[in-house]
Chain A
Amino acid sequence: MYVVRRAVQAVITLLGVSLISFSLLYIFPGDPAEFILSIRYGYEPSAEDVARLREELGLNRPLVTQYLDWLSRALRGDFGMSWTEPKAVMPLILERAQASAELFLATFLISIFFAFVLGILSSIYRDRWIDHLTRMFSMLGISIPSFWLGLVLIWIFSVNFHLLPAFGCCGIKHLVLPVLTWSFSFMAIKTRFIRASVIEELSKEYIVTARSKGLAESAVVLRHALRNALIPIVTYLSMSVSHLIVGSIMVEVVFSWEGLGTLLVKSVFERDFPVVQALVFLSGVVMISVNLVVDLLYTVIDPRVKYGE
């Protein structure tokens, strides 16, 4: 029941996201056909040209028909043609998606690993030196802006020591600096969150029970507190998956990474609306799917969820 209800909610949310993505084009003042033609010609198009293109694109039809048409094509992965490049939107996005995914996955996995290790160590050894060090480290990660860190790293490793490429894409060597830059801030907040969640659990009554059994503090944290803390932690981590599409903009721009972040920036500046629409819609889809998976994960983590309500 729980699963079915969550799935239905996901579909409804998806419709909302599609509506927003679709209306992007119409929220902006001006006529889409005029846009396309002025981009294509580079000068003000004539009224006949505009009228012809409007007919061609079906812009004269009622909005509802246009939306349904757009939605049915979007669901099949067809977002039309790019306005600035002679390519369909979907292949354009897929081409870039791989580069972004590489960057995101490397950052995500490395950050999560270290965030868990540091967060857990920090909560086992509260107020000892390892905890202080971790907290200082995460404070730095939160405070230092990633574009600044990125530039500093480029200056040190690329400009001064010629060890790593400053920009460009693909290959382990190219990944190092952007991943390092992004991970530093990415893991900082997560480390703090994991530490806080575990410590919060440590004040619960069942922890006294666990300690009364004569368990070592590490067993108390790992076997009892951590598992209970996973519920808020998983929720929090899942939200960061939205970065898969848009979160890397800063890092991608600094390192000229040919990914979705730079594509989004470029499309917005060039008013390539079909690409923007597709990116907004797809990041919505990614978020909703991740949320759905997380909701299902709860039933695995927490035996009480199934019986909720």
Chain B
Amino acid sequence: MLKVENLVVRFKSRVGVVRAVDGVNFDVVSGERFVFVGESGSGKTVLAMALVRLLPNNATVTGRVIFDGVDLLKLSEKEMRKVRNCKIAYIPQNQASLNPLMKVGYQCAEPLVEQGLERGRIMRKVSELLEFFGIGHRFKDYPHKLSGGMRQRALLVMGLSREPEMIIADEPTKGLDAVKREQVVEAFQKLGRRTLMVITHDLPFAEKVADRIAVMYCGKIVEISPAREFFDCPLHPYSKGLLESLPERGMNPIKGFQPSLVNLPEGCRFRERCDLSTARCAEEPPLLEVDGSLVRCWLYADEMC
């Protein structure tokens, strides 16, 4: 359904060119729930926004984003607006993503108004969806009266109401406490078999919703695995590090920091933080196929031979 080929996003900044997304390839099949994980600053959000072309003007995006056979990067702005409106619903991060001066119900209805639906039908549809996610009584409230969890659900309603072919949700559990996170998980489980791409650094959340997991590190995908395999036996040393840093898995954070995206090290970008690195890691590893997973690490190169 969605096929991304060699996607590169560069930002011009005062310190130099930032390669926020650097040659990303993946595809999302119809009905799948594809989850991107990784630290803040690994380029996940930029990647998601690049897909629907919502990045600011100082970003240059190259590569191909094929959706239903059409390269989205080649569409005119007007055609792209149609895609955003009724094909791919991008759901932004929650804190300040609602217009503070517009009633929640109306904000949720806006994409449908844009689609030109009849007013009564819009109201019915939005009310039903808000009701479905337990915030039906909030239709006429302004966003500042809603909790973070409610706002996230309102954003979900905004995405769902237009019945898109695909939903891209950016950090849906960001800044929420445990109870509200649970509400969002529930909300996502209510989505049914919809094609979904989720960006998150919340691994327990990812475990609950994902069919497949992709791990981003410094603008590159380092692993793509089916969710069960990923959580049972992650392949990439970085994936292992991410999982081991969870409290319930020993809380061993990965040593060191992510390198700056302006001066990336040659070769494997995780090399300097990796306990298993060898001389070979000075060379950029390719994305290798291992038992139905893809992993970007030299450790698995030998197994192939």
Which residues of A line the B interface, CB within 8 A? 204-206, 208-216, 219, 224, 227-228, 301-304, 307
List chain B residues, Cβ under 8 A from A214.
81-86, 111, 114
Q: What's the dominant secondary structure at chain A's contact region?
A: helix
Smallest Cβ distance from A287 to chain B, in angstroms? Answer: 27
Closest chain A residue to B83, Cβ basis = A214
Smallest Cβ distance from B79 to chain A, in angstroms? Answer: 10
Beyond contacts A224-B99, A224-B102: 11 other A-B pairs, Cβ-Cβ < 8 A, are A205-B97, A206-B100, A208-B54, A209-B158, A212-B54, A212-B84, A213-B162, A215-B81, A216-B81, A227-B99, A303-B142
Smallest Cβ distance from B215 to chain A, in angstroms? Answer: 25
Q: What is the size, in residues, of chain B's interface with A at 8 Å between Cβ atoms?
A: 31
Smallest Cβ distance from B93 to chain A, in angstroms? Answer: 7
Chain B 111-125 near chain A by CB (<8 Å), digits 1 or 0: 100100000000000
Closest chain B residue to A203, Cβ basis = B56
Whether, in the assembled complex, B92 has its beta carbon less than 8 Å from a beta carbon of chain A, the answer is yes
List chain A residues, Cβ under 8 A from B114.
213-215, 219
Smallest Cβ distance from A221 to chain B, in angstroms? Answer: 13
Contacts between the two chains (Cβ within 8 Å), count: 73
Given A212-B84, A212-B90, A228-B101, are A206 and B96 also a contact pair (CB < 8 Å)? yes
List chain B residues, Cβ under 8 A from A301.
101
Closest chain B residue to A302, Cβ basis = B101
B9-59 interface with A by 8 A CB criterion = 49, 52, 54
List chain B residues, Cβ under 8 A from A304.
100, 142, 144
Which residues of B line the A interface, CB within 8 A? 49, 52, 54, 81-86, 89-93, 95-102, 107, 110-111, 114, 142, 144, 155, 158, 162
Once bound together, how far apart are the Cα atoms of A204 and B91, in whole Å? 15
Task: Assess whether A206 is in contact with B99, with CB atoms less than 8 Å apart.
Answer: yes
Closest chain A residue to B52, Cβ basis = A212
Task: Assess whether A206 is in contact with B144, with CB atoms less than 8 Å apart.
Answer: no
List chain A residues, Cβ under 8 A from B52.
212
Q: Which of B89, B90, B158, B162 has the most CB of A within 10 A?
A: B90
Given A205-B93, A208-B92, A213-B110, are A228 and B99 also a contact pair (CB < 8 Å)? yes
Task: Assess whether A206 is in contact with B97, with CB atoms less than 8 Å apart.
Answer: yes
Closest chain B residue to A216, Cβ basis = B81
Task: Assess whether A303 is in contact with B158, with CB atoms less than 8 Å apart.
Answer: no
**Can you identify 21 A-B contacts, CB atoms within 8 angstroms?**
A205-B96, A206-B98, A206-B99, A206-B100, A208-B54, A208-B92, A208-B97, A209-B155, A210-B99, A212-B84, A213-B110, A214-B85, A214-B114, A215-B81, A224-B99, A228-B100, A301-B101, A302-B101, A303-B144, A304-B144, A307-B144
List chain B residues, Cβ under 8 A from A215.
81, 85, 110, 114
Once bound together, how far apart are the Cα atoms of A232 and B210, in whole Å? 44
List chain A residues, Cβ under 8 A from B101.
227-228, 301-303
